[in-house]
Amino acid sequence: MAPQHSTGGLTVRESDADLRRAGLTRDPEPWEDGLRETPRPGTFEWWYFDAECDDGSRAVVVFETKALDAAAGPLAPRLSLTVRTPDGHVHAGRTRHDPASFRAARDHCDVTLGPYRAHGDLARYRIRAGTPSAAADLTLTSTAPPSRVGTGTVTQADDPGRYLGWLVAVPRGEVEGRLAVPGRTWRVRGTGYHDKNWGTLDFGAVLREWHWARLHAGPFTLACAELRARPGHGGGRTPLLVLTRDTERLAATAAGVTFTPRPDHAVIRWRDRAVALLGTPTTLGPPREPGPRPYRRFTAPATLTLTTPHGPTTTTDGTALAEHATFSTPPKRRPEEPAAPTPSGRTGAPPGEASPAAARSARAWPAAPAPAGRPGASPGEASTTNARTAAARPTRAWPAAPTPSGRTGAPPGEASTAAARLARAWSVSDSAAFGALFAPDAAYTDVAAGRTHRGRAAITTWHRDTRVAIPDLRAEVEDGFATDDGRACATLLWTGTPAAGAPGPPFRVRVATVLTLAADGLITRCADYYDLLGLTGQGYAIVPRRSPEPRG
């Protein structure tokens, strides 16, 4: 069991207890690749796919809810596509789409932007994408286990309502299909990768830079990100690493990981177990004038050396795809000057418009380590709208709403995901994990039925009885909000088929859930409101007949 890691003002939670509280297991599920954020102001989300083809061609596809430097604004979806032909010519473009054309499922990856779509279930994906400069129609079949580091999120230590999620949905897979550029269409086969990011972290205010890289070498795949915080947020590095061999996950951790760039190469280390050397980079983008730029995507040769306990050391050659971004420092302003309306309330220029003073030359690795991520910036554009890093937040989260300061309660990061964790726990049969979400003296009130379950034991028993009565019970968060003082409210859609006590047809009911959390993130009060009379009038009986503890 790995502990909680706090470095540079950012926190990664990896323990078994953290996973239980988040309603997660070590193995990601398809819903984690679905829509995680309601695309409202203050949030961002994107789905990233890449392919290395046997003929030397490359493709990168990104579906975004909005540009990272426009996270403070409403839904403004974009699709970016980069194709490098076998002869080395790069065709890169990005297309903005009407918000009305955006569709995304919450229970699995299924994202639509106009005529283009990416959908799959962690095992197999179909990706269709196009811009004026290129098109792709690819199928990606996973050959490595989906992975995340701990709960899948990196949270801001001094403001846990700000976080970045990272899910490596397909560390490695077989890809086939067609690529097209003006005047040419050809079939391809090769190796692919897919991950996704989401969250509310204000990159420009919190981060100075980041790195991200993924490499395939023989049967091994390594994905690594490193976030470098500003001095005002601890100034440290927060690394994240996923390592697989064929169908086995060897590591998914933030512990003992370093990402060190040099002038002509970079080195990734995981304890004394793994060393990845990434060689001289080649920009994956259209030709540009030499000089610094705040965002770059590039390929590089790679060598991975692994040492196993009581076993031999193996060295395998391969290839890597990497990204680097730097973020401008928000300018100082006089107290009377209003803040510019940039992501998450940050003052100053958005990262895509920042001074690129910290960026390095177009064909050299940056000299300082950085964080990972990449929100869909086209490689040919000097935009840091890409934020790839670490961690997957518990199911469907929303940003915490600001409330008066000075209140006590759970960190907003806990409150903002409380209903999502509760819904997830209702949807599985692990009653002990459900009970672990609650404080020992918690109270859970079914307001419509007029029943209150007092104490963790009674709440756990109620969950067990309900799951027996409705074995296929599912709860899904549709919308909600949270406050900085540890309170949350959400609308949940409940579905199921009563099978015990009073069998009946399948039901669908919307429930308003109100939660209060303690400082440790445990639920102290929960109340459900729904139309019980409407259900019973139709012959439904969705409340277990076994009576819980009487109301106090």
Q: What is the pLDDT of residues 487-538, one digit of tens each?
A: 899 999 988 888 755 566 788 889 999 999 988 778 999 999 988 776 665 5
CB 19 within 8 A of CB 25: yes
**pLDDT given for residue 210 in this prediction:** 87
**pLDDT given for residue 404 in this prediction:** 33
Residues whose CB falls within 8 Å of the CB of residue 515, separated by 6 or more in sequence, listed in order: 415, 418, 419, 422, 487, 488, 489, 490, 523, 525, 526
> In angstroms, rounded to a whole number, what is the distance separating the alpha carbons of residues 172 and 320?
12
CATH number of 400-537: 3.10.450.50
pLDDT per residue over 98-135, tens digit each? 999 999 998 899 999 999 999 999 999 999 999 999 99
**Any bridge partners for residue 308, and if so which?**
none
- Neighbour tally for 336: CB within 10 Å: 5
User: Rounded to two decimals, what is the model's pTM?
Assistant: 0.67
pLDDT per residue over 40-54, tens digit each? 888 899 999 999 999
Tokens of 364: 């050299």
**pLDDT band, residue 418 (cuts 50/70/90):** confident
pLDDT top residue among 237 and 329: 237
The CA angle 354-357-360, to the nearest 5 degrees, is 115
- Neighbour tally for 76: CB within 10 Å: 17
- Which letter does DSSP use for residue 411 in this model? -
| Region for 516 from its dihedrals, namely left if φ exceeds 0, alpha if ψ lies in -120 to 50, beta otherwise | beta
- Neighbour tally for 519: CB within 10 Å: 12
Crossing angle of the two packed helices 456-469 and 412-426, in degrees rounded to 10 = 40
- Computed over every residue of the chain, the mean pLDDT equals 80
The order of strands in the sheet holding 400-401 is 400-401, 474-483, 487-496, 507-517, 523-529, 438-446, 451-454
CB 357 within 8 A of CB 211: no
The CA angle 12-16-22, to the nearest 5 degrees, is 70
The single-letter code of the amino acid at 534 is G
> In angstroms, rounded to a whole number, what is the distance separating the alpha carbons of residues 497 and 469?
9
> Average pLDDT for residues 139-143, to the nearest whole number?
98
**Where do you find CATH 3.10.450.50 in the chain?**
400-537
Look at the block and give the residue holding tokens 């445990």: 522
Residues whose CB falls within 8 Å of the CB of residue 381, separated by 6 or more in sequence, listed in order: 92, 94, 295, 352
CB 315 within 8 A of CB 290: no
> In angstroms, rounded to a whole number, what is the distance separating the alpha carbons of residues 137 and 133?
14
Residues whose CB falls within 8 Å of the CB of residue 536, separated by 6 or more in sequence, listed in order: none
**Where do you find CATH 2.40.370.10 in the chain?**
5-353
Tokens of 384: 């840091």
> In angstroms, rounded to a whole number, what is the distance separating the alpha carbons of residues 204 and 342?
9
> Average pLDDT for residues 441-447, to the nearest whole number?
93
DSSP 3-state assignment of 235?
A: coil
pLDDT top residue among 374 and 93: 93
pLDDT top residue among 411 and 443: 443
- Which letter does DSSP use for residue 37 in this model? B
In this predicted structure, the answer to whether residue 405 has a pLDDT above a threshold of 50 is no
> In angstroms, rounded to a whole number, what is the distance separating the alpha carbons of residues 13 and 25?
13
- Neighbour tally for 290: CB within 10 Å: 8
**pLDDT given for residue 541 in this prediction:** 53
**pLDDT band, residue 286 (cuts 50/70/90):** low
The single-letter code of the amino acid at 236 is G
> In angstroms, rounded to a whole number, what is the distance separating the alpha carbons of residues 482 and 403?
9
> In angstroms, rounded to a whole number, what is the distance separating the alpha carbons of residues 335 and 326?
27
Q: Which CATH superfamily is domain 5-353 in?
A: AttH-like domain (2.40.370.10)
| Range with top average pLDDT, 79-83, 291-295, 540-544 | 79-83
> Average pLDDT for residues 90-99, to the nearest whole number?
95
Look at the block and give the residue holding tokens 């306990």: 309
> In angstroms, rounded to a whole number, what is the distance separating the alpha carbons of residues 47 and 197?
7
> Average pLDDT for residues 411-439, to the nearest whole number?
78
Percent pLDDT > 70 in the chain is 77
